[in-house]
A and B are shown apart, each in its own frame.
Chain A
Amino acid sequence: MLAEPIGRHRELDRVERELFLRSTIGRNLPSTRELAELMRDVAFEAGSTIYHEGDVAEEIFFVLRGTVALSKAGGVRHEYGPGSVIGIFDVEQDKPRARTALALTDVALLALSSEDRLELLEDSFEQTSAIIRMAAARLDEFARYGGGPLDPGVTLAPKPEPLLLIERVFTLRDTPAFRRASIQALVSLAPAADEVRLAAGERLFERGEARAVLFVVVAGCLELQRADGQRERFGAASLLGGGAAFGDALVRQSARALTSAVLLRIREEDFYDVMEDHFELARSLLAYLASEQERRLEEREEAASRGRAPPHEDARSAR
């Protein structure tokens, strides 16, 4: 259900709206007007609810003016000012609203429906890849890549050599980043990958080597070591380095196999080529990146509530 403004609908400052579009999301698009055609403007009075936790998420909102608070029952409240994007994580993951959005002051928003946004991205591949890189860079900032506390001993599974195509497709389908992609897309991606086999203890790459490449673990356990000495482990059906791997994160790491391991190495160029032909792959990846960012923010909130780190949210950010 589209959000219905319940407050007095203020006539938005047209200049402000156009300036906003030109200086933010519309800047890299061929036509700001084209983007504007897809949006509607909504206004809410202070104290009114923009959407409730549990509502169907169909739109993302760009804050033009005013302050919006996002909170979930019993959780921390975050405030967002002009230039922020709200509701995007839910829309990307196609799930109900995780938080309630409340107008703290009179707010002016631009609303863009999920369908229209996807259509826009499908037609603008550069924009899509830029968003992916941006989300990856944001994940990189969290200094956690989503590795788990794996016991290397239980991650061993014999795999035929060479890997069967279907085995590759199964692995990709089980990998969270590609879980929502179409089978057709995975069937196209699977043969484009190279198979890498490592013995226990063998290096996959050293710092500075892993440029424009992605690794999907088929079997075994890999350890990623960051420049600050922190280590994370990745097991079967996981993307080495998590969502941050779509940026420059891997260049600054080194990786080695803790057990004998099988991986798929996918050149970034090949990945984007398949993505251009199969937009659902981009949708799947965007959903994964959104879920990862949300998870990191929640971990940070939890740590903050335990007094381990201060809660921090950029005023011009997305959630």
Chain B
Amino acid sequence: MTGLAIFAVFVALMVLGVPIGAALMLAGAVGIGIADLGWFSIPNNFYAGIAKYPLLALPMFVLVGAVFDRSGVARRIVDFGVAIVGRGPGMLPLIAVAVAMFMGGISGSGPATAAAVGGVMLAAMYRAGYPPAYSATVIGAAASVDILIPPSIAFIVYSVLVPGASVPALFAAGVVPGILAGFALMIPAVWLARRHGFGARELDQPRPPLLRALREASWGLFAPVLILGGMRLGWFTPTEAAVVAVAYGVFVGMVVYRTIGFRDLFDILVDAAEVSGVILVVVALASIFAYTVSTLGIVDPITRVAQESGLGSYGALAIVVVVLLIVGMVLDGVSIFLIFVPLLAPLMRLYNWDPVWFGVLLTFMVAIGQFTPPVAVNLMVSARLAGVRIEQTAPWALWFVFSMLLLLVILIAVPELATWLPGVLGY
């Protein structure tokens, strides 16, 4: 009964567009009030929810993203990409996906990457003859893969929620599926462009000289090596790797490329503070909700229902996939994890799902949801930048969704794709 009241309040507030954090806290408060759990669990859980040292990696990686998004790295890597693959139908979208994946290897959030890559690529793709709705789809979809490619803010939050999954293990587990997801987007992107003859208009433009493009881009190309390599070699913890990347990015932006001035630096800090605050306040308020749900044992029946239904591991997983794909369309990855991981944890134990593999799967589903029209978080950003309505992207986006769903099935069938790399690296 109490459980029903909690979820009714939460769903009602959320559907009415109330900020997720407030909806979670008020629903939790209703439960605490009914079951008399003690009002002080509210501020205590709020504080304890974010006063965790490992969580410091989150604002630091947000800052890394804010620095690199303005450093001009994206534009130079685009030039480098053009120098490698040349010009012609399908080449620019290919580069857009590759650059979005690469920026995902530096920054940790999808919408930020959609803005950074969109800012560089949309105008170029428009001039080359790609329809804006198609370009917006490619960039929105590519930016969604970001949360799979380390460093990923979604993985940091998942690791805080699931004790058995460490940040380095999750980061390593995301690499192979993230790269495969990139290919899963490149194939329909190039195929569609070829079929419709998009991008023929740029053939007369010069190709940048390879060596100079490489030299210009090398500063940016080194950043993921520093972040991921430094963590792999045990030089840095995730938080330290982030702050070293910030220092490196500020150096490249201020000294090498001279794209960042002191005024920009302050803008970057303010932006990063705002983005971090918006995410972390949900983390804090969600811990009140999670406390109520777990103390009252509301999710325990889920295990029983799953057992009695005789669905089996794959049947249960299929239901989880459908639910998360739908939710992923309207909510960002971090919020979904905060709401659903406590609910799904009993299932994970019941079916003995590997927590790292399951984390990658959840993230993959969220990634698909973030560019599935009509209500996709990342598609919204890129469509706004491209000046198109989100419905116009639908005929294009469905190809990419289909391709990613195929890959999701493969990931479920072959868990080694996610678990192999962390195993080899010894996490």
* A, B from the same assembly: no
Q: Which residues of B contact A (CB under 8 A)?
A: none
